[in-house]
Structure 1
């Protein structure tokens, strides 16, 4: 059982590492900081609840069952951290957020103190590592301590359910998905962990033995519920960057035809090729290198090529924008050929600003790269072909 609990704690804690990858930024962001604190405390609850940890703590302190108030105190701290996280996530005026955070900390701080006092007053000479809740369910002071920690955790989970349902109607996208995961985790915690604990304890009060609900059913349900909640908290924070990196990877690959064409003309420093470099960083280096190459090839632009291809595309029924892209792609291919052959710049050359240099981001370069693979008279869905038609002879 300890191994399973430790594994759940490890997976739970790894999500906070993903959010805390930039410590300086995270420490200045209350939302990121409160998310990490809640997840770390949740992982510590699992660590403290493991029978191996309980036995070690009891042995080190010399107090039988000292691990119980430690675990329950951690659970209360986790419940408080979840409420603080919801407050920071919901947002509002700084004064309101601060006031609500202080109220949560004060309420659960008093709850932790009460748990410690009740444990000190109780008679707990028999060490119990897995069934303490049911074994001491009828013991004075321990009975109240067990109910207090359960009620404190139930309050936090129920508040979280209400907030998720209410807020889920107002938001969309990854945030709504995250709220649904949190709601599912909270409901599983209430039904799979708390309800089974309450049932087992009440059964002891009435003289029945349903200890298996507390010792066998509740722990895995709590682990699954905590993992779902952690995924819900992390998803809205991590999904947008992951999507951005995925899109960056796609743009990086779509720029390959354009980069292959102008690579020899680029004078930009060679980009790093470390395997761990993120797609967006690679994309940025490729953008800079391509723009540098376009500046180098600008003197070789032949407007006669551009105008001829543009007219061909317009006659084929393409839109003015598509015709412009096809014409610029043809002119760029011609300028790259001239530069590679060390020819003199054309007499009809001159300053011209490509569409790719008029828009921010990689979208303009991606359009230009895609235009390289289409003939002037083809639509955007046509099969790739040679870009330029044979030049008609002309007299300079």
Structure 2
């Protein structure tokens, strides 16, 4: 059981680390902070509730079952963080948000204090690492402590379910998908963790033994519920960035033909290499290096080559923009060939500006790269020769 719990804690911790990554000198916003805190607290809840952790805490403190109020307090803190996260996610006037956050903190700090007091008043001499909830279900003070932490967690979870249902009707796209994941996780928490715990405790009150619900059913379902909630919180914030990285990788690969043709001219410094470099960073370096190479090839640009290629592309039925890109690709290929052969630049500079240098982003460079791979049939080059394939 400890292995399953630690695995869930590790996945939650990883999600928090990924979510908290930000550019240097970028500021923290309350929503990001509250999201990371909630996910980290969920991870700590699983770490604290693992039997191995409970045994270690009890041994280090010398107090039997000291890990119980620690775990219950952590669950209550996690419940509070969920409410705070929902407040920040919903937004509103700053004073109203601050007031609701302070109320939530005050309520759950008081709840944690009562849990600790009830544990001190109760008699928990026998160490129980797996079934404390049911073993002490009929013990004075400890019974109230168990019910309080469950009620506190239920209140936060039910509030989250209610708000997720309401907000999912008002939003669309990734935010709605995230809310539905949170709703699924919260519903699983209610049905898979809380109801099984309540059922096992009430069974003890009536003299029955349903401890298996508390010890075997509840923990894995709680782990899955927390993972679903964390995925719901992270999805609207991480997926756009992931998609941007995927697009950057696609553009990076699309620029390969152009980079292969002009890389010998570029004088841009090489970035630090490594597998950890994200596609966006790699794309930025390749884009800067290509622009540097195009600047170095500008003295070799031949307007006659471009004009002949432009006329040939128009005769082939290309649109105005397509003909321009094809003509620029032919002129660039000719310039790269003569620069590689160490020929002298043209005596009179062309002064022509490529479309890729007039637009922002990588779209113009990608078009130029694609034109190099698929040049129009019969495109003439300088000297009257006909190039049929990129070389």
TM-score, length-scaled by structure 1: 0.90
How far residue 154 of structure 1 moved from its aligned partner, in angstroms, is 0.7
| Counterparts in 2 of 1:328 and 1:88: CA distance versus 1, 3 Å | same
Q: Give the structure 2 partner of residue 384 of structure 1.
A: none
CA contact (8 A) 1:303 1:349 kept: no
1:234-273 correspondence to structure 2 within 5 Å: 234-273=234-273
Q: Give the structure 2 partner of residue 122 of structure 1.
A: 122
| Counterparts in 2 of 1:271 and 1:117: CA distance versus 1, 3 Å | closer
Question: Structure 2: how far apart are the matches of 1:340 and 1:250?
Answer: 28
**Cα deviation 1:328-375 (Å, max 9, x = unaligned):** 111111122222233344467521111101111111101110111223
1:131-280 correspondence to structure 2 within 5 Å: 131-280=131-280
Q: Give the structure 1 partner of residue 380 of structure 2.
A: 389
Question: Structure 1: how far apart are the matches of 2:142 and 2:13?
Answer: 30
| Counterparts in 2 of 1:148 and 1:120: CA distance versus 1, 3 Å | same
| Counterparts in 2 of 1:346 and 1:61: CA distance versus 1, 3 Å | closer
Question: Structure 1: how far apart are the matches of 2:356 and 2:138?
Answer: 76
How far residue 19 of structure 1 moved from its aligned partner, in angstroms, is 2.5
Question: Structure 2: how far apart are the matches of 1:275 and 1:79?
Answer: 38
Q: Give the structure 2 partner of residue 382 of structure 1.
A: none
How far residue 392 of structure 1 moved from its aligned partner, in angstroms, is 7.2
Aligned residue pairs: how many? 385
CA contact (8 A) 1:306 1:331 kept: yes
Question: Structure 1: how far apart are the matches of 2:37 and 2:284?
Answer: 34
Gaps of at least 5 residues in structure 1 are 378-386
**Cα deviation 1:276-304 (Å, max 9, x = unaligned):** 32222221111111111111222222222
Q: Give the structure 1 partner of residue 6 of structure 2.
A: 6
Q: Give the structure 2 partner of residue 56 of structure 1.
A: 56
Which range moved further: 128-137 or 364-373?
128-137
Q: Give the structure 2 partner of residue 300 of structure 1.
A: 300
Query: Partner of 1:264: helix, strand, or coil?
Result: coil
Q: Give the structure 2 partner of residue 383 of structure 1.
A: none
| Counterparts in 2 of 1:24 and 1:44: CA distance versus 1, 3 Å | farther
**Cα deviation 1:154-211 (Å, max 9, x = unaligned):** 1111111122222223333333322222111111100000011111112222222211
Which range moved further: 365-374 or 54-63?
54-63
Gaps of at least 5 residues in structure 2 are 386-391
CA contact (8 A) 1:310 1:376 kept: no
Which range moved further: 330-339 or 342-351?
342-351
Q: Give the structure 2 partner of residue 340 of structure 1.
A: 340
Q: Give the structure 2 partner of residue 43 of structure 1.
A: 43
Q: Give the structure 1 partner of residue 97 of structure 2.
A: 97
Question: Structure 1: how far apart are the matches of 2:381 and 2:23?
Answer: 59
Query: Partner of 1:123: helix, strand, or coil?
Result: coil
Q: Give the structure 1 partner of residue 388 of structure 2.
A: none
Query: Partner of 1:166: helix, strand, or coil?
Result: helix
TM-score, length-scaled by structure 2: 0.91
How far residue 222 of structure 1 moved from its aligned partner, in angstroms, is 0.7
Does structure 1 residue 325 correspond to structure 2 residue 325?
yes
How far residue 62 of structure 1 moved from its aligned partner, in angstroms, is 3.1
CA contact (8 A) 2:312 2:379 kept: no
Query: Partner of 2:291: helix, strand, or coil?
Result: helix
